[in-house]
A and B are shown apart, each in its own frame.
Chain A
Amino acid sequence: MGINALERELKRGSTELLILALLEERDRHGYDLARLIDERSHGAISFHVASLYPTLYRMEDKDLIEGRWVEKAGQRRRRYYKLTKTGTRMLASQRNIWENFFDALNRVARIRHA
């Protein structure tokens, strides 16, 4: 597997985790999610907005998140996403998996993680 391919697989595997984690803080709309992922990773994990929505819809199909149109006073209608109970459980288990994974990486390949 080339470096690019590895990066792509890592991103794909982690996108769901990132979205779940961001939604754990509060309900957000699509643009907000894209911006935050970009900002918080200092640009390291900026994925194309093109694949954000397919991901969101897939997660919605799996009942991890729920999207609904919200109209706030003086603002346009926006579709907000929130975590479902299944999503919360999934986030916890994914965190666990990634934690164990990084521990293992650290022990074997000496990669530190915060």
Chain B
Amino acid sequence: MDWTNRVRAAFMRASHIPDDDVIEELAQHARTMYEVARADGCSHEEADRRMADQLDRWRVEAAALHHRSRRPPVVAPPPAVASSRFTGLVQDVRYAARLLRRQPRHALLTILTMALGIGATTVLFSVTYGVLMKPLAWPHSDRIVVLKETRGGSAPRFGAFTNAAYLAWREEATTIEHIAAWSQRLVTLSGAGEPERIRIAAATASLFPVLGARPLIGSLFEQKDEALPVIVLSEGLWRQRFGADPAVLGRLVHIDGQPHTVVGVLPDTLAYPDRQTRAVVPYSIRPTAGNYLAMFNAIAVLRPGATAAQAAAEGTARGRFASDTGLTTTAIFGSNGPLEITAQPLRDALTADVRRPLVVLLVAVGLLLLTATANVASLQLARTTTRSREMAIRAALGAGSARVTGQLLVESLLLGIAGGAAGLAFMWLLHGSMPSLLPADFPRVDDLGIDATVVAFALVVSVGASIAFGLLPALRVRRLNLVDALAEDGTAPVGAGVRSRTARARMLIMVGQVAIACVLLVGASLLGRSFLALLHADRGYDPAGVLSARLSMPVTMYPAPERRFAIIEQILNRAAVMPGVTDAAFTSESPLTPGGSTSAFTLKSREADGALVSVQASPRIVSPRYFSALGFRMIAGRTFSEHDTETSEPVVVVNHAFARRYLGDSPLGSRLPVAGYAPPEEKQLESTVIGVVDDVRYVTVANVSQPELYYSHRQMRGRLPVQTVTLLARTSGDPADPADLRAAAAGLRSVVREADERLVAEAVLPLEQRLLTTLARPRLYAVLLGGFAGFALVIAAVGLFAVLSYTVSQRSRELAIRAALGARRADILRLVLRQGLTVTLAGLVVGMLASTWLTRLLSTQLYGVAPHDTLTFVLVPLLLLLFATLACFVPARRAARLDPLRVLRGG
């Protein structure tokens, strides 16, 4: 016979159905009774009848057959008076641990909340610390400064420093010990294994003394070696490609086909500017003779005692003695004004553009931690209320308030430290994938990690948070009234649920949580909308469905520009007939970012009565279909046609910015020099403006369009004067369908290989994806803040739910009396909802006020959306109200469904 089912069936008609626990116990009892009766010789019928009687009696007392739903801690509390301070602590810890084991759900919720809060804070701290605060690896990094040069206040179009200033300063420097020049480039490394593309730095020998670098093996080159074909490998490259073989010294490797002798290996810890730079080759600074300006990056190490400002002043003074390089200066700087040099400490220079976002995110995660801590405090507070009897008994047995408070704090600490440990574990898991989670151009990724500082931070945060969330309940216990707490009737007086000190504290916490969720949501919404604006901004062309690839044809591979021309012609002709491709083109400069080649010339102004004006523009060589492949809008005139050949009149297409700035109202027909790309034998060649295309909008926060000139490669006398081009293919398939794009990508690769099997189409990617990588930082910031905001929203909703559920249970008597006196269900529902929504509204008001003030921090990160964006400031409160209503509705409905009779009978 299934006794459990029989007992359960017997209670079906009872006023109260006991818990499964009780039913099982009664079933065991009934079974034993039956078995004993049978053993005594009763018939089955007789034994069964006795059982039926028994069940009837149980049913009568059904209401009394229940355990208390919240069971008091049956763990023996530690002795009221500890024999010594230390044994007291040990007892407290043991007691707290046992208590938490008995309430695994509560403990798990707390630990999880704290783990997320502390974990997120620690991760962000480790990034902020690693990037902004940690000392750099180079021995005297605090004295290293990054140098920048401007002319007449305008920065160069590319590079940061000129040979003019460098040479003028180097010889007579007093504020700096060494100055070094460097630049990076992508090269093909061959010899010793498969050829591979690597990034290397070309640097003056002074780079090593500036960094204070010593070789792992071999030696580093010196100034006298700057003209020699030598190479210093990075430790990483040496291990990966040469198996850390010391015999690598003296071996030859090929860089873009040129032999270089390995002279040394640089330890990875000292790699500059980052570990992705796999080797260093010498770079020698040429003088400015013949208006030659070389552009590079420059760093210097200050003499002990000198400041960056002094160095900048000295550099500026000495740089002004440099010889004038005329129009070349205008080409590069857009001005030939007075030279100015700035010096910025290396760490600041590396991290300048991530400083503000990191600080904003750190503030956000701090708020998140605050709201998580407040949530736990609120939970603990509710728990102390239900445990007040336990506390009162302990106090009555002689425990001083310090002892009781201490024990509560120990409990909180245990929870907090468990949360902190879980947070660190989370951090540890994440740490390995951090470099891949962060945008590729994020500074100092190599410096991120878990070290003593990060662990100490996590510990301090855990302990701080534990004390914060343990303090409120502990303070409450200090004020505990023994008589009230021990009074038999556990039901709170009317109004206790809303007006007690604890209830008020929890309400206040709720207001804060709603406010924090509001601030974070506003921030996330602004960054999210800004990211979407960046993504969908009108760029002046249509990147959807366009495939791009980089093609490098180094002069070492093709000494003759005629050969490069033939190759590109072949590739374009084949690509144009690939299935699914509507247009194939190339450009000498990527359309995605500003900069690139630059040129300057003088022009007779039509408007200023033929006065000469200095023009600075970026000349680009494109194939005729370039404009249709990228979907440019024409503003006036036409683009290149089949008739624009090397025998026809040279023509040029200008962009809107150029036309506006230099050509006035009627740009078509103007005559311009063939800037930068005139054939060597025809330096004075002019071209006629045949069309104006819309600007490429480099969608950034700065958002400027630069003057650009487009020349057709067909008019270059059968030569291709550049070595690196970007190939573009517009596909006719669905731009969103990855299969179409994959097929086109494979086609493009094989077209390039067929042209010359040594050639490789690099970085074959949809243009939209390349755009996304330029948007990686705004996306990361938006995603992180969005995550924090979502978490804060959930915490606020859960908190609201818990607080209201608690007040409903505390007020059940009051609500029942109201119901008995004639309040309808809708009235009760409204009453409880109003309580929850009042708190929410108060939180919203605080949150919105704080937001209007805090969003100013974000203003430099926003594109296409104002810091006080109306939509955000309308939608966020609505979203919060929706969540709050949902969170309040469940307890409110429970309150409305209370059975007044049962509540008042004490059932």
B-binding residues in A (CB < 8 A): 29-31, 34, 48-51, 53-54, 57-58, 60-61, 63, 66, 76-79, 84-85
In the complex the two chains form, is A53's CB within 8 Å of B54's CB? no
A-binding residues in B (CB < 8 A): 21-22, 24-26, 28-29, 31-33, 54, 57-58, 60-61, 64-68, 72, 74, 76
Max count, chain B CB within 10 A of own CB: residue among A30, A50, A54: A50
In the complex the two chains form, is B29's CB within 8 Å of A54's CB? no
Interchain nearest-CB distance for A79 vs B (Å) = 5
Known pairs A63-B72, A79-B25, A79-B28; A57 contacts B57 (CB<8 A)? no
In the complex the two chains form, is B60's CB within 8 Å of A50's CB? yes
Partner of A29, one of B21, B28, B58, B60: B28
Known pairs A50-B54, A76-B28; A61 contacts B68 (CB<8 A)? yes
In the complex the two chains form, is A48's CB within 8 Å of B28's CB? no
Interchain nearest-CB distance for B830 vs A (Å) = 35
In the complex the two chains form, is A53's CB within 8 Å of B28's CB? no
Max count, chain A CB within 10 A of own CB: residue among B26, B54, B74: B74
Known pairs A29-B28, A49-B29; A57 contacts B61 (CB<8 A)? no
15 contacts between A and B (CB under 8 A): A29-B28, A30-B29, A31-B29, A31-B33, A34-B29, A49-B29, A50-B57, A50-B61, A54-B65, A61-B67, A76-B28, A77-B24, A78-B28, A79-B21, A79-B24
In the complex the two chains form, is A53's CB within 8 Å of B72's CB? no
Q: Which residue of B lies closest to A63 (CB)?
A: B72
CA distance A85 to B79 in the complex (A): 11
Interchain nearest-CB distance for A38 vs B (Å) = 12
Known pairs A61-B67, A85-B76; A51 contacts B28 (CB<8 A)? no
In the complex the two chains form, is B68's CB within 8 Å of A53's CB? no
In the complex the two chains form, is B65's CB within 8 Å of A57's CB? yes
Interfacial chain B residues near A29, Cβ < 8 Å: 28
In the complex the two chains form, is A53's CB within 8 Å of B74's CB? no
Interfacial chain B residues near A51, Cβ < 8 Å: 61, 64
Interfacial chain A residues near B21, Cβ < 8 Å: 79
Q: Which residue of A lies closest to B58 (CB)?
A: A50
Q: Which residue of B lies closest to A29 (CB)?
A: B28
Further pairs besides A51-B61, A76-B28, A84-B74: 7, Cβ < 8 Å: A48-B57, A49-B58, A50-B57, A50-B58, A61-B67, A79-B21, A84-B76
Partner of B65, one of A53, A77, A84, A85: A53
Interchain nearest-CB distance for B397 vs A (Å) = 10
Interfacial chain A residues near B57, Cβ < 8 Å: 48-50
Interfacial chain B residues near A48, Cβ < 8 Å: 57
In the complex the two chains form, is B67's CB within 8 Å of A53's CB? no
In the complex the two chains form, is A53's CB within 8 Å of B76's CB? no
CA distance A29 to B466 in the complex (A): 41
In the complex the two chains form, is B28's CB within 8 Å of A57's CB? no
CA distance A58 to B21 in the complex (A): 15
Partner of A54, one of B24, B31, B64: B64
Interchain nearest-CB distance for B254 vs A (Å) = 76
CA distance A63 to B293 in the complex (A): 90
CA distance A66 to B72 in the complex (A): 10
In the complex the two chains form, is B61's CB within 8 Å of A54's CB? yes
Interfacial chain B residues near A63, Cβ < 8 Å: 72, 74
Interfacial chain A residues near B32, Cβ < 8 Å: 31
CA distance A30 to B66 in the complex (A): 15
Known pairs A49-B57, A50-B57, A50-B58; A57 contacts B29 (CB<8 A)? no
Interfacial chain B residues near A85, Cβ < 8 Å: 76
Interchain nearest-CB distance for A75 vs B (Å) = 10
CA distance A66 to B71 in the complex (A): 11
Interchain nearest-CB distance for B332 vs A (Å) = 84
In the complex the two chains form, is A57's CB within 8 Å of B66's CB? yes
Interchain nearest-CB distance for B229 vs A (Å) = 82
Q: Which residue of B lies closest to A66 (CB)?
A: B74
Q: Which residue of B lies closest to A52 (CB)?
A: B29
Interchain nearest-CB distance for A32 vs B (Å) = 9
In the complex the two chains form, is A60's CB within 8 Å of B28's CB? no
Interfacial chain B residues near A84, Cβ < 8 Å: 74, 76
Q: Which residue of B lies closest to A51 (CB)?
A: B61
CA distance A58 to B24 in the complex (A): 18
Interfacial chain B residues near A30, Cβ < 8 Å: 25, 28-29
Interfacial chain A residues near B72, Cβ < 8 Å: 61, 63
Interfacial chain B residues near A50, Cβ < 8 Å: 54, 57-58, 60-61
CA distance A59 to B263 in the complex (A): 86
In the complex the two chains form, is A53's CB within 8 Å of B33's CB? no
Interfacial chain B residues near A76, Cβ < 8 Å: 28, 31
CA distance A66 to B67 in the complex (A): 11
Interfacial chain B residues near A79, Cβ < 8 Å: 21, 24-25, 28
In the complex the two chains form, is A31's CB within 8 Å of B54's CB? no
Interchain nearest-CB distance for B30 vs A (Å) = 9
Interchain nearest-CB distance for A10 vs B (Å) = 20
Interchain nearest-CB distance for B269 vs A (Å) = 59
CA distance A85 to B66 in the complex (A): 23
Q: Which residue of A lies closest to B73 (CB)?
A: A63
Interfacial chain A residues near B67, Cβ < 8 Å: 57, 60-61
CA distance A79 to B22 in the complex (A): 10
CA distance A53 to B72 in the complex (A): 18
CA distance A34 to B21 in the complex (A): 19
Interfacial chain A residues near B61, Cβ < 8 Å: 50-51, 54
Q: Which residue of B lies closest to A85 (CB)?
A: B76
Known pairs A29-B28, A31-B28; A49 contacts B54 (CB<8 A)? yes
CA distance A53 to B19 in the complex (A): 13
Interchain nearest-CB distance for A35 vs B (Å) = 8
